[in-house]
Amino acid sequence: MRSLTNAITAQKKKVFIVDDHCILREGLTHLINSEEDLVICAEADNAGEKGGGTPRA
């Protein structure tokens, strides 16, 4: 089952969200994750944090 999940995820484009407004990040995450070909890979609340953003599973 894991290899099937990896194959599906590999086909999706990864998106990194950076914004200082938590509610905006949550809304974007919801919208982007509802798209079949996109997935949130991480998020950060400022551009300086982008290298160490919060990874998503």
**This prediction's pTM:** 0.63
Can you give the residue ranges of every domain in the chain? 2-55
| C-alpha triplet 42, 12, 51: angle, nearest 5° | 25
% the chain with pLDDT above 90: 53
Sheet architecture: strand order including 13-18: 13-18, 38-44, 54-55
| Higher-pLDDT residue of 25, 7 | 25
Residue 11 confidence (pLDDT): 84
Give dist(CA 49, CA 9) in Å, integer: 25
Q: Is the pLDDT of residue 51 over 90?
A: no
Are 10 and 35 contacting, i.e. CB atoms less than 8 angstroms apart? no
Residue 6 confidence (pLDDT): 61
Q: pLDDT-based confidence at 10, cuts 50/70/90? A: low
